Amino acid sequence: MIKILWPHTYSPEAKNSGVFMFQLIDPLKKQGIEVIPLYIGGIKKNPVRFIKSIPDIMQTASKCDLVHAQYGSMCGLLSVFLHRKKLLSLRGSDWYGIAGASRQQKIHSFLARSFTKLSLPFYKKIIVMSNRMANEVNNKHPRCSVVAIADGIDLDKFYPMDKADCRKKLGMDANAIYVLFTSASEGNFVKREWLAHKACELARNEIAELRIMIAEKIDHDLMPYYINACNLTIITSLHEGWPNCIKEALACNVPFVATDISDLQEIANKTTSCMVVEADEVKLSKAIIQISKVAGGDDLRNFISDMTVENCSRKLKEEYEKVIFNR
């Protein structure tokens, strides 16, 4: 069995942290790939303890066939020093930066991006989340081998459900029009929750029964009910790799209104049920009004039918074997 070391920074203490990474472990195991997750995010809280653990990390890596760093920034840079063939996954903020208003956040963003760029030449393969990211990385680092493999979702978990039943389960108003906004944490500057609120406030001037539903720190097992209970979902991010909340919404046949991020424009070009507009509260509100009136009937699930956990794990296995066996 092939052994792969996964250095990552997804805290085991944070709710839903890294769920899209961890759910790939079992499907990979079924294909003969043993994954060894290694949390190295503790360097921020206890750098001395981390430094002391380096010999153990090196020993663990020596027993593996390949190292697949699950994030850029410091995770990607530290993984460079593990003496094995290596892949790196760029997920979004490690490439675009972590936007913030304070000086400390700006410094952190600059360092994160710098660490990512420094580490790229040392990896045999760079895996990114979207076609858009692949083009950007290729343009700036033409010598890197880049492939787009979006994180998979569980289509047996996320599928269309009866809206009334979901609202009853969650205690939601049966007659309201709900716009879902999803974020893993409060105050995430990249997500721009304030912009979603302003857009919905303006839309409410025309649709009095419109409400915004904020899904933050929700148990992932409950998310299918929240998504199916809503009429549409909104994402107002500065940037994204490939937003998992949109994949899940499409899997449930729930349309989206979005700013111009990732590959969402490709989908919006193929259906009138989804819209991508500028990051402007007025334009977003008009899109919300339009989609809330016309949404329904389109098979949006078809757009993400290949983004399954099984397909993702199969593609990862192919890339692992290419690197390990120099194919």
In this structure, the answer to whether residues 6 and 65 fall within a common structural domain is yes
CATH of the domain at 200: 3.40.50.2000
Domain presence at residue 98 = yes
What is the domain range of residue 179? 163-304
**18 φ/ψ sector (left φ>0, alpha ψ -120 to 50, else beta):** left
Domain presence at residue 158 = no
Helices 281-294, 193-203: crossing angle, 10 deg rounding: 60
pLDDT band (50, 70, 90) for residue 204? very high
Strand arrangement, sheet containing 232-235: 210-216, 177-183, 232-235, 256-258, 275-276
Which pTM value belongs to this model?
Answer: 0.92
In this structure, the answer to whether residues 118 and 68 fall within a common structural domain is yes
User: What mean pLDDT is predicted for residues 187-216?
Assistant: 94
**143-174 pLDDT, tens per residue?**
999 999 999 999 999 999 999 999 999 999 99
Domain presence at residue 157 = no
| Cα–Cα distance for residue pair 265/284, rounded to 1 Å | 15
Q: What is the dihedral of CA 270, 127, 69, 46, to 10 degrees?
A: -50
Domain presence at residue 320 = yes
In this structure, the answer to whether residues 127 and 40 fall within a common structural domain is yes
In this structure, the answer to whether residues 80 and 171 fall within a common structural domain is no
Domain presence at residue 41 = yes
In this structure, the answer to whether residues 219 and 147 fall within a common structural domain is no
Residue reference for tokens 């290729």:
138
| Averaged pLDDT score across all residues of the chain | 92
**214-255 pLDDT, tens per residue?**
998 899 999 999 999 999 999 999 999 999 999 999 999 999
Domain presence at residue 284 = yes
Cα 121 to its chain centre, rounded Å, is 24
- Token pair of 175, please? 């007659």
pLDDT > 80? residue 189: yes
Residues 6+ apart with CB under 8 A from 280: none
In this structure, the answer to whether residues 277 and 317 fall within a common structural domain is no
- Least confident segment among 185-194, 199-208, 307-316: 185-194
Number of structural domains the chain divides into: 2
